[in-house]
A and B are shown apart, each in its own frame.
Chain A
Amino acid sequence: GEDVEQSLFLSVREGDSSVINCTYTDSSSTYLYWYKQEPGAGLQLLTYIFSNMDMKQDQRLTVLLNKKDKHLSLRIADTQTGDSAIYFCADYNFNKFYFGSGTKLNVKP
């Protein structure tokens, strides 16, 4: 099956940019997603990108996709304490979602 990998932790200061990275193995992936999970809550979709795109921007969020390296990143500009959460990268392929282990973002005031 597909492997999706992320680093487990990231710590930034309020106002800085955060960059969360993800790698995946299946080159036939069609859609790649970023989900946010706050403590005790379900998963909230932040953004997604089609596999034929290189970049997608949505307000403070920028997603970059490098298909050659199978690398996906999420940049959060002007990170706020409310952005503290776990961020999951997910790959949708052949009717299934494959999730990374999640990156816990800690934003220090």
Chain B
Amino acid sequence: NAGVTQTPKFQVLKTGQSMTLQCAQDMNHNSMYWYRQDPGMGLRLIYYSASEGTTDKGEVPNGYNVSRLNKREFSLRLESAAPSQTSVYFCASINREMNTEAFFGQGTRLTVV
């Protein structure tokens, strides 16, 4: 099925460990996003990529890095995980020229202990 695929779905990390969250879309969308969702705070933008080869900071970029590997893939890296990064992470993509629907992945539930 077409859509946005995130891996892994669940992850537990120890403080200081690193990991990369993967996101891929097969809709030929140019813009991709990473959000984190925390209770009562909605979704906050971490980083986005308006097109292949470009990335920009969102509202809460500290502690994260991203790579737009190609048009399909946009990864989020935590270099040294902290308990404050415990959250649910969502990847999304949109065809910017069409400006219609953003498609979301199913989310990655990350716990940092």
One of A41, A92, A100 near B42 (C-beta < 8 A): A100
In the complex, which residues of chain A have a beta carbon less than 8 angstroms from the beta carbon of B94?
A: 92
In the complex, which residues of chain A have a beta carbon less than 8 angstroms from the beta carbon of B33?
A: 96-97
Query: B92 interface residue, CB < 8 Å from A?
Result: yes
One of B42, B50, B106 near A42 (C-beta < 8 A): B106
**A→B interface (CB under 8 Å):** 1, 4, 8, 30-31, 33, 35, 41-45, 48, 88, 90, 92, 95-102
Min CB–CB distance B97 → chain A (angstroms): 11
Complex Cα distance, B90 from A95, in Å, reads: 17
Complex Cα distance, B57 from A1, in Å, reads: 12
**Count, chain B residues at interface, CB 8 A:** 26
Are B101 and A45 in touch, CB under 8 angstroms?
yes
Against A, the Cβ 8 Å flags (1 = close, 0 = not) of B56-70 are 001100000000000
Complex Cα distance, B45 from A92, in Å, reads: 12
**B→A interface (CB under 8 Å):** 31, 33, 35, 40-45, 48, 50, 58-59, 90, 92, 94, 96, 99-107
Are B42 and A96 in touch, CB under 8 angstroms?
no
Min CB–CB distance B101 → chain A (angstroms): 5
Are A95 and B107 in touch, CB under 8 angstroms?
no
Complex Cα distance, B92 from A45, in Å, reads: 12
Are A101 and B99 in touch, CB under 8 angstroms?
no
- Which B residue sits closest to A4, measured CB to CB? B42
Given A95-B31, A96-B58, A102-B42, the answer on whether A45 and B50 have CB atoms closer than 8 Å is no
Are A95 and B50 in touch, CB under 8 angstroms?
yes
Given A31-B99, A48-B101, A95-B50, the answer on whether A41 and B41 have CB atoms closer than 8 Å is no
Given A42-B90, A42-B107, A88-B43, the answer on whether A96 and B100 have CB atoms closer than 8 Å is no
In the complex, which residues of chain A have a beta carbon less than 8 angstroms from the beta carbon of B102?
A: 33, 45, 90, 92, 97
